[in-house]
Structure formats: structure tokens, C-alpha cells
Structure 1
Amino acid sequence: MDNDAPDSNAGSPNLDLERNEARHFLMNGSVSQFSWSGLNVTVKDRQTKEPRDLIHDISGDVRQGEVVALMGPSGCGKTTLLNVLARRPATSGAKVTGETYVNGATIESSAFGRMTSYVEQEDALIGSMTVRETLKFAADLSLPSSVSKRQRMERIRTLLEAFGIQKQADSLIGTPIRKGISGGQKRRVSVASQLITCPKILFLDEPTSGLDSTASYEVISYVKELARESNIIIIASIHQPSTTTFQLFDKLLLLSSGRTCFFGPVSNIGDYFRDIGHPIPGNTNPAEYLLDIVSSDFSALTDDADNRVQQIQSAWKESPQVQAVTQKISERSHMEEKGLAVGGDDLARAGVIKIIITLLHRSFIKSYRDVVAYGIRIVMYLGLAIMMGTVWLRLHPSQDYIQPFINAIFFGSAFMSFMAVAYVPAFLEDRATFAKERANGLYGATPFMISNFLIGLPFLFLIAILFSIISYWLSNFQPTAVAFFTWVMWLFLDLLAAESLVVFVSAIFPNFVIALALVAFANGLWMSVGGFLVTPTILNPFWKYVFHYIDYQAYVFQGMMVNEFSERIYSCGDGCQCLYDTDLASQCQIRGTAVLENYGYATGRTGKWVGILIGIIAVYRLFGWIALQVRKN
């Protein structure tokens, strides 16, 4: 039975009470006012090397239940300002000055993060999850153990109903090969998933991006209704809304070149711009008109446009409205810092162990639903196994087949690890989800790396087993159970090391093309110095001492070589012209250890090589963790 299914006693008094409590939780807020004063973001101009303002002297004030639109031409600083207000990095190398206040007081970033949520422009949704599962995992990652399972489900039901997506609760979000919910519904799910902890301030970056006017109106109307019913503050950057969508906002902060052109109630826009000599024509979308008059990028008369924009900015700076906002912020900033422990325990995050278990659960569901991420990779590895087993089909234990045996060992180890490049897109998708969830304070790099490592173990072991069952016996390697499972062990460690390399590289360079190229290059390097193409006995000292000893493929190759040749005897063929001189030459046979001696490989070191391999895997994972800790995007 589905644990998340509605309870059979849905009409019981106890359940009705819990639903009322859930709704009370969603509507209970103690942040009555959020304001900002004198915000500036300055960077060094790349050409002139002089300081350049991205945001200059921005102030504003918003009350609970209000929805504020940040609007302006492309490049005016909307997203930069939204990031500063949300206490996120503005941009690389930027200097940020100014103050933000909650209920008239400054608070620490950790406390601020617990009372806010941020919905990014791109939906941070996993396509193989259903709508209900998306909200459930958001709840499990963010809510403390003190919130019971039934309370969580009531919060989820309340949000599904509030956003009108209860009919899509069991529908998939959607993947490139599986159709899911619509774009407008995805945006509503994104917002709902950030509201599971009932933030007091919600930041939305282009919530209507990519949506038509109907879907945009639908999203903003739900946001507005939620803001009023739940008494939360919502600040959204938006680009060229329709007239009906624009009228839904309570306040507008209009920017141009990082400076304020207007801030105040949407209802006052007409009177204000008429008073400064820019009346809004009838039967015109006010948002489009405002964007036109504060933009100079595409104007035929650039100088006139610049003068117009400067005149609008100066008019605002000297207006009584800006003085009223400044005075209001100044008065409230002297208030006592009280009532800021918003939500109490409800705003505490889930424990690390619980987060790891939740991430594992989510990854498990994704692993068997997402055909692109996992199914295709299994088919690819099985195809590789069939190709290897049939190319090196039924090799004989004679000296003519010694080199083909070595070639097969190299192919089975090196190319299996090389094909780990197929893991790059899957990890980058997981990394993108992690980056967005970390930015909202749900969890850090440690739970993500641990869960990512653990969820990969059974999958990689399954690949190693399936590949070996097909290729090992078809190729006629050492026909013993011990030798077979030793081969499986080496192949499993090989895949684990290769995937760890992918994690390390992709954590540093979260770009598909760059990560793919670097992982492929690294695997090419490991193949070159691993000991097959050039034996370690004659390998150039530079490559041997700098790269060979840190090459995980080298340890896998020599481990597989010892597994095959240490206990096997090969016939010399007709004429007894043995290629290797051993103590069995008189019997027209070759002892396999002679092959190992030719490569400089000793027996009895399997434990040492396994330990080194585990160390290499640990180092890759550690470096990947450090990269995620350092990089914040």
C-alpha cells in the first residue's frame, strides 16, 4: 500500500483538526515588514578597470501579504538586486553595501535563510518524480522530525489545493522522453515546493519565464492569493507581463541601469508618470510602456533616450515618495530586534542522517524511472560485454592466445572505465538540483556526496556482475569461481574509480562539454600509462613516477593480469617453441607467471593494490566534496 495515499478516515474529527492546524501553519507569520536601504553592487569594469555600479542606492519597503514586481529592461539589474535581497552572491567579484531589515531590525544570515525561500528561473524539479513526490521530498529534506508524517501530508494537501494542482498530484513532472505536466503547472509546483516550510519571505526569479500570457496570469494569481492568505511577502523579478498579470502586483520597483525609476503601489503608476511628463497612453499595456521609456538600448535616438532615462531617475530621486520610503525605513530600523525567531522549531532543518536517507530514497526512485540516466547505460554496458565476449570468443590456453588474453583484459578494464563518461549528464543533473536546494539552505555538500556515493554502489556492482557473466565466460578466462569473483571485484573498483573521477571533474566544471572532454582526456592518459601499451619496466620515468602510480587503471590491469596468469599453464603449441622460458619448457608448457614477470608484476600484492584503489577513490570523492564546498553554483 502507498504510504502517501489519503487516509481512509479522511472525515474524522482528528484529521479535520490536523488539516486546520496545517492551514494555520501556512497562514501564521510574524514577519510584518521587509525593507532595504542604500543597496549598492559594484564591480570592476573589465575594459576601464574602474568601479562600475550594477545596483546604485536602491531602497524599498514591503509589508506582509504584498507581492512586489522587480521590472526593467534586460541587463538593468533585476536578478542582481533579487540575489542581494535574498542574501545570495550578487555576481563574481562584486562589492555589496547597504542594509536589509526584517521588522525594522538587522538579523544574521542564518536566521534570514530559515525564514526565506528562493525559486530560481529554471525549475529545480526532477522529471521522473510525481507532483506529490516532489512536495513530499521537499518536506522530508526541510522539515524537522518534530513534524509528524501526517502533518507533512496535510501541508502537502493544503499546498496542492492552494495552487490548484491536486488533480495532477500523481502525474510525473516530465522528462525529455516522457510527457508530464504543463509549463504553468511546473512553475506552480516549483513555488509550492519552496513553501513547504512556510517561509515568511519568498523570492521568485522570473516566475513567468517561458510561459504564455494565460499561464503567466495563472501563476501570479496563485502567488498573490497565497501571499494574502498566508501573510507572506513575495518579491518577484518579471519581464514584460501582460496588462492583467501586471495589475495583480501590489507594488512595482522599476529599474533602469541599476537605478530606481519608480517604487510604490501599482495603482499609483499612472498619476506619478503623468506628473513627471510621461503619461501612459490609453489602451496601452502599462508594463510595456514603462519598459519602453526606461530603456535606451534599442532606441534610434540614443542620446534622447539616455536623457529621458536620466530625467526619470532624477525625478524619482527628488520625489516626495522616495523621501517617504527613506523616512519609513529609518524609523523602523531603530526598533528593537524582537519577534524574529520566526516559526521556532518549524524552521529548523532536518538532520543529516534523515537528509541522506531522503536523498537515497529520491535517487532510488529516479534510478528505476529515468530510462535516459540509467536504463540506456545498462544497455550500453551489456552491448560492450557481448562485443568483447564474441570478439575474444573461447580463447585457448596456449601461447598463441596469450596476447589476445592480455588484450581482452585491457579492453575489459580500460574501456569499461572509459565509458563512465556516460555518467557525466546524470551527475550534472543531480548537481544542479543540489546547487538549488543548497542555496535554499536544505542541506550541504556532505549529505549530497554521501548519498551520491551510496546510491551508485549497487548500480555499479550490478553492471560489473552483468558484464562479467557475459564476457568472462565467453572469453574463457581462468575457469574458477574464485578467479571470476576476483575479476568482478576489480571491475567493480574500476567502475567506482571511474565514476569518482567523473564526480570530481564535474564538481569543478559543471559544464557538459568541458566535463566530458576532461574525463575523456583523463581516461586516455590513464590508458597510455597504465602498463598495457608500454610496460612499466620500460615506461618513461616522468610518466611512470608522475602518473603511473596514481593511475587507477594500472592497478586494475595488473590485478586482472595476476588473476589470469598467476595460476594458469599455457601450451607452447606444435614444435614446442615456447615464447617464454619457464621451468615447464621441457613439458612444452609455459607457466603464466613468466608473462607477469615480463610486465614487472609480482604476485601476492592484491590486498595492497585494492587498498591503493580505495585510496584513489576516496581522494577523488574528497576533492569533489571540496570543489562543491568552494563553488556555490
Structure 2
Amino acid sequence: MSTFKSSEDVEKGPAGSGYAQLTNDTVHSFSWECVTVTVKDRRSKLPLEILSGVGGMVGAGEMLALMGPSGSGKTTLLNVLAHRAATTPKSTIQQKLCINGVPATLASFRKLSSYVEQEDALVGSLTVRETLYFAAELALPSSITKSERKSRIGGLLSSFGLHNQSNTLIGTPIRKGVSGGQKRRVSVASQLITSPKILFLDEPTSGLDSAASYEVMRFVRDVARKYKVLVIASIHQPSTTTFELFDKLMLLSRGKVAYNGPVAGVKDYFAGLGYNMPLYTNPAEFVIELVNTDFSHDQSAATQQLTHLHTSWASSPAAAALATNLHSPFQNAVSSLSCTETSSHDTANPLLIPLTLIHRSFIKSYRDVVAYGIRIAMYMGLAIMMGTVWLRLDPVQGNIQAFINAIFFGGAFMSFMAVAYIPAYLEDLSIYTKERANGLYGPTAFMLANFIIGIPYLFLITILFSIISYWLGNFNPTAHGFWTWVLWLFLDLLAAESLVVLLSSLIPIFVVALAATAFANGLWMCVNGFMVQPSTLNVFWRYVFHYIDYQAYVFRGMMVNEFGDRNYECEMLEGIEGGCRCMYTSALQEQCLVEGKAVLGVYGYKTGDVGRYVGYLLVIVFVYRVLGWVVLYLRKH
């Protein structure tokens, strides 16, 4: 079942291929009435209407441009139409959205529509073909075979002129990829993989020059015409050639409609109102200037003109005809053809979605050096530094404090450097936000995949770091001691990365997430038992933070690993035969040795509790991840 082909193939191919195969549930029209959005004004504290009674309709195969000056409400309207607008206690939304004249449920609407956001939320380390492949895996039902998926992807690549770039990376800050215009085409193509009937585009030409803008919108128009897709796009001052690709224009200003009709009729309509368009003028720029009052020197005259435009449209025959069409019998007659049958489409198997996300994350992780490559290099540098600073420490009492310092440094700074994971996680989070809004999967699949994909890399980092730092530092020189150190360090990194996931999910802004994570790790360093021994730690910090500090259990575990069964030579006193001076009192003092357990006693640590503290750490990791899941679940996008 090939969805997209080249123009020649479409003309020659069978009528039942691609979108034509889905005509049993064709969407003939998408309409909206009385869309009103009210918020509370910050200054006056009075209700302020962002949109006021907006209505419109788009037919199959048509493209509608939403235009207006900044603050006109076009993005708000697009989000309302696409079921993307979230209400808050200070805002209210009134709307009546219909498919073929009948309201559709959110679930069925999502299966009929796709939304392309203004920012290209794509995985930069994937190729163009891989991007479409994973879009198909996450969106298409299991009933569609592998060959059919390949056929859809191949058709999309051909239709959007991406065949020659199919094996090119999307592009990362470090590795150059496809151009901006090609990225926009990939974004649109990835949303068309499911053969949607309604396509929403938020500023699809943002950041593109006029040539690239025309190129992107021409591809979209061709798809809309050939496969009867309804396209609604918010767009800001397109070029004349790009503007003429649209069938209809809805012009907004201050939340009200100034024009809603054919693009070809713009010039005559406004001329009839006394606003003649000069020759060789971009009609898009002309209409925007008519309704834009922000830069007018005479605000009173500009407001009068805008009021004239609003009232003229509201009382025009075209507006009356539109209102009649919104309630036409044809709309209701075909409702059962669309809103009932299309809601029964299957979706991707929810049990396989985490595996797909893991697969995609795995490709990203080994291609994108920002995700783990740079972190591995950082940790290796830290291991070499630590191993050479604490180089081959002899087991003498003069080095006991040095061993303790090294243990603190190894655990605390390893966890602190987990902040390097924030950029990669925020990129994953932005993609999750887009895909969740499109109804592909929820926070459970995302959090599960994120946790699983991180385990092997964190273990690799732990092993590489430990091989260098542990043996150079001459810690407890036994296999058991080494692998116990690895265990604690791995749990330390697992908890640190889980903390990053929680805080970055809570505050998905790089600088703020970085500051919050650094502050949290600084707090854990202060109360983990190294700076101030647990027994003398202030009651508040001890009972509120120390016992939930994952670094505290890592420090305790590493201390027990080093000092639990190791002895240290005391300082020999010159001139006194058999005399020595031991800094710690222990049962081995007469042998001129310091028993490691005496060092643990100073901190109030005991041996034999390894299993319990490992359990505490696992609980902390679990709680961080669950809290991260709760944040993502409660955040409505």
C-alpha cells in the first residue's frame, strides 16, 4: 500500500494506491464555529479575548493560510483547531469543531490529523530515511506489513524530493546534515506517514528564505491536491509565489476575522472596501499592513480602520454564505462516512513502542557524541587526573585521609558531572513532547526506554573510570574490592542521571536545569557525611536530607569497601625500640597497625550492611524516575 509516489507514478498508478485507498473514510470538510479564547489581563485583571467568535471551513484538498500581525491570535487559533490548546484557571476556551459537520472525539481527531510544529523536533543523528522509518514504527498499526512500510517511506522520499538525501543525517551541532528547507520537508513527511486527512502547520516557512519557503509549501500543496488532505497553516508574510499556493486566507487581527475567503479574491474584496492594492505589491504584505496597528503613528485612525475591516467582513455576503455552509445538510449527511469509521483505525502496538524508542535511542547514543561520547571522554580525563593525583598511595596511616578524600571525590564529582547529560535529555524530551501531542505514546514508554538505554553506557563509563582510577590510586587491592567499588559507582551514576531526568523534566530549560542540578548535587555533597560526620551533622540537615542523599550511601559503601578489611601501618617513633604512634585507636595498635574498622567507627559506619544500602539506593533511583514520570504525566502539551 504505497502512500506517496512521484507525480508520474501517481498518474500511471492504480486508483486504489496511496491516499486513494482510504476514500472509504474521506474527510470532506473540517469546520469550526464560535471559537473564543479568553484570558485574564495581567494589568487590568479583567477578561481579555484573544479570539472572538471565529468561524471557518476547509474542504478536502484545500490549503488555508492563517495570517495576521503578531498578537493577532493565529497561533492560538491553530492550536485550538488542532486540539493543542490547554486551558488554565485564568483562561477559557469555547469552541465547536466539526468533521463533516459533526463533532469528533479527541481520540478520533488525533487519528485523522497530524501537526507539524514550528521548530523541527527531529533526532539530528538519524538519517532522513531512518527518521521516516521510526515515524512509521511509532505511528502505523502492526497490520501494515514491513514491505508496505518501506513502500510508504520510499513514496514519501520521492514525493518530497528527498530521495538523494535519504542516507544523509538530519544534522547535529557537531555534524552537518540536510538544509533547513529539507528539514522542513522531513518534518512534514514524517507526519504524513500515517496518511492523515487533516494537516496543521505552525509557521512552516519560519527561518527559510523565499525560495526554500516556496519549495516546502509547493510540496505540501501537491500532496494536498493529489490525496485530498486538508491543510491549515499559520504563516507570516509569505512571498507572492508562496502566498498564491494557498486556496483560502483567514486574516486575523486582535482576535477577530478581517477576511476569510479565496486567496484569488483578496484584491477585489479589499478594493470594494476602498483599499486598493498598488501594482507590483505582494498581496500578503498588503493585507498584513491593513490590519497591523502596532506601528501606526495615528492610533485612533488605525483603530477606526481596523473596526471598519472587522464590521465589513462580519456583515458581508461572503460571511453569511460561510455561516450557511457551516450548517448545510450535506455536512450532516456525510458525517457517518468520516467520524465513525475513521475512529476505528488501529494504532501501533503499545507493547512494541518502548522497543522502538530504545532502538532509536541506541542509534542516537553511538552516533551523537554529545549524548555519551563527550561524557566518556570527560570521565576518562577525570579518572586519569584522580589516579595521578592520588597515585599509588601506600597503606600507611598518613594516607588514610587521602584515601577518604579520594573516595569522596570519586563519588561526588562523578555524580556532579552528570549535568553533561542535560542537553541530550532535553533533545529527547522535545521529541517526546511532539510525539505525545500527536498521540503516539505516553510518559511510561518514554521513561522506560530512557532508563534502559542509559544502563549499558553508564556501566561502560563505570568500568573505564574504575580500571584507571582504582588501581592507580592503590585502593583495596582485591578483586572483591574492585567490583564492589564498581557496584557503588554504577549506582551513583544511575542515581545522578535519574536526578537529571527529574529536574530537566520539571524545568525543561537548559540553563535553569543546569543550575538546579548543580545546586542539588552541591547539597548532596554537603550532607553526604564527608564534610561533616553524620553523627555531628545538624539535626535538620541530617533527618531531612542526609537519609535521602544517594551520595551518602555511595560514600558509606565505598568507605566500608576500603576500610572494612584493610589495615594501615602506624608511624614509627625514632629512638624507641618497638615504639610507634597510631592516629586511630584499634585492637591492632600493639602491632603498630591501624585497623580500618577504627576509621569507620569515627564516621559511625559498620560493616555488613552493604545489601541494605544498595536497596536504599535502588529505592532512590526508582523514586526519582517515578517522580519524573509524574511530572511528564501531569504536564499537558
After TM superposition, the score normalised by the length of structure 1 is: 0.95
The root-mean-square deviation of aligned C-alpha atoms, in Å, is 1.7
Residue of structure 1 equivalent to 2:298: 301
Paired amino acid for 1:621: R
> Are 1:126 and 2:123 an aligned pair?
yes
1:98 to partner: Cα distance: 2.2
1:331 to partner: Cα distance: 2.4
Q: Distance in 1 between matches of 2:162 and 2:332?
A: 43
Deviation digits for residues 573-592 of structure 1 (CA, Å, limit 9, x no counterpart): 21210011111111101110
| Candidates 231, 235, 238, aligned match of 1:234 | 231
- Note closer, same or farther for the CA distance 1:613–1:410 as it changes in structure 2 (3 Å cut): same
Q: Distance in 2 between matches of 1:293 and 1:179?
A: 41
Paired amino acid for 1:152: R
Q: Distance in 2 between matches of 1:186 and 1:552?
A: 42
Deviation digits for residues 60-86 of structure 1 (CA, Å, limit 9, x no counterpart): 011000000000101111110000000
Q: Distance in 2 between matches of 1:298 and 1:364?
A: 51
**Aligned partner of residue 196 in structure 1, secondary structure:** helix
Count of aligned positions: 619
Q: Distance in 2 between matches of 1:298 and 1:373?
A: 45
1:334 to partner: Cα distance: 4.7
Paired amino acid for 2:489: L
1:20 to partner: Cα distance: 6.9
> Are 1:274 and 2:274 an aligned pair?
no
- Note closer, same or farther for the CA distance 1:346–1:151 as it changes in structure 2 (3 Å cut): farther
Q: Distance in 2 between matches of 1:405 and 1:573?
A: 17
Residue of structure 1 equivalent to 2:5: none
| Candidates 584, 592, 595, aligned match of 2:596 | 592
Q: Distance in 2 between matches of 1:282 and 1:445?
A: 54
8 Å CA contact retained: 2:495, 2:550? yes
Q: Write the mapping of 1:493-572 to structure 2, written as runs, cut at 5 A.
A: 493-572=491-570
> Are 1:44 and 2:48 an aligned pair?
no
1:139 to partner: Cα distance: 0.2
- Note closer, same or farther for the CA distance 1:327–1:515 as it changes in structure 2 (3 Å cut): same
> Are 1:381 and 2:379 an aligned pair?
yes
Residue of structure 2 equivalent to 1:608: 612
Q: Write the mapping of 1:244-393 to structure 2, written as runs, cut at 5 A.
A: 244-332=241-329, 334-335=332-333, 337-340=335-338, 347-393=345-391
1:27 to partner: Cα distance: 7.5
**Aligned partner of residue 195 in structure 1, secondary structure:** helix
| Candidates 599, 621, 625, aligned match of 1:617 | 621
Deviation digits for residues 307-340 of structure 1 (CA, Å, limit 9, x no counterpart): 1111001100110111111111122565474023
Paired amino acid for 2:495: A
Deviation digits for residues 576-630 of structure 1 (CA, Å, limit 9, x no counterpart): 1001111111110111000001000011100000001000000000000000011
| Candidates 57, 68, 71, aligned match of 1:72 | 68
1:57 to partner: Cα distance: 0.7
Q: Distance in 2 between matches of 1:568 and 1:623?
A: 40
1:21 to partner: Cα distance: 4.0
Paired amino acid for 1:411: F
**Aligned partner of residue 34 in structure 1, secondary structure:** strand
Q: Distance in 1 between matches of 2:343 and 2:35?
A: 32
**Aligned partner of residue 121 in structure 1, secondary structure:** coil
- Note closer, same or farther for the CA distance 1:609–1:468 as it changes in structure 2 (3 Å cut): same
**Aligned partner of residue 522 in structure 2, secondary structure:** helix
Which is further off, 18-27 or 392-401?
18-27
1:342 to partner: Cα distance: 7.1
Q: Distance in 2 between matches of 1:18 and 1:419?
A: 58
Q: Distance in 2 between matches of 1:560 and 1:146?
A: 52
1:472 to partner: Cα distance: 0.2
Paired amino acid for 2:42: R
Q: Distance in 1 between matches of 2:607 and 2:117?
A: 56
- Note closer, same or farther for the CA distance 1:175–1:26 as it changes in structure 2 (3 Å cut): farther
Runs of 4+ in 1 over 3 A off after TM superposition: 16-29, 90-93, 332-337, 341-347
- Note closer, same or farther for the CA distance 1:70–1:629 as it changes in structure 2 (3 Å cut): same
1:289 to partner: Cα distance: 0.5
**Aligned partner of residue 361 in structure 1, secondary structure:** helix
Residue of structure 2 equivalent to 1:63: 59
- Note closer, same or farther for the CA distance 1:99–1:135 as it changes in structure 2 (3 Å cut): same
Q: Distance in 2 between matches of 1:68 and 1:24?
A: 22
Q: Distance in 2 between matches of 1:205 and 1:588?
A: 77
Q: Distance in 2 between matches of 1:419 and 1:348?
A: 44
1:198 to partner: Cα distance: 0.7
8 Å CA contact retained: 1:106, 1:337? no
8 Å CA contact retained: 2:112, 2:342? no
1:560 to partner: Cα distance: 0.3
Q: Give 5+ residue unaligned stretches, structure 2.
A: 1-11, 574-579
**Aligned partner of residue 581 in structure 1, secondary structure:** coil
8 Å CA contact retained: 1:262, 1:316? yes
Identity value in percent: 58
Q: Distance in 1 between matches of 2:298 and 2:13?
A: 65
Residue of structure 2 equivalent to 1:141: 138
**Aligned partner of residue 194 in structure 2, secondary structure:** coil
Q: Distance in 2 between matches of 1:100 and 1:136?
A: 32
Q: Distance in 2 between matches of 1:502 and 1:455?
A: 15
Paired amino acid for 1:149: K
**Aligned partner of residue 537 in structure 1, secondary structure:** helix
Q: Distance in 1 between matches of 2:75 and 2:36?
A: 14
**Aligned partner of residue 436 in structure 1, secondary structure:** helix
Q: Write the mapping of 1:204-243 to structure 2, written as runs, cut at 5 A.
A: 204-243=201-240
Q: Distance in 2 between matches of 1:607 and 1:172?
A: 46
Q: Distance in 2 between matches of 1:74 and 1:196?
A: 32
8 Å CA contact retained: 1:548, 1:554? yes
Residue of structure 2 equivalent to 1:97: 94
Residue of structure 1 equivalent to 2:188: 191
8 Å CA contact retained: 2:421, 2:497? yes
Q: Distance in 2 between matches of 1:473 and 1:513?
A: 37
> Are 1:167 and 2:164 an aligned pair?
yes
Q: Distance in 1 between matches of 2:341 and 2:181?
A: 30
Paired amino acid for 1:483: G
Q: Distance in 2 between matches of 1:54 and 1:532?
A: 56
Paired amino acid for 2:137: D
**Aligned partner of residue 337 in structure 2, secondary structure:** coil
- Note closer, same or farther for the CA distance 1:342–1:477 as it changes in structure 2 (3 Å cut): farther
Q: Give 5+ residue unaligned stretches, structure 1.
A: 1-15
After TM superposition, the score normalised by the length of structure 2 is: 0.95
- Note closer, same or farther for the CA distance 1:379–1:338 as it changes in structure 2 (3 Å cut): same
1:276 to partner: Cα distance: 1.2
Q: Distance in 1 between matches of 2:177 and 2:445?
A: 29
**Aligned partner of residue 69 in structure 1, secondary structure:** strand
8 Å CA contact retained: 2:25, 2:337? no
Paired amino acid for 2:290: I
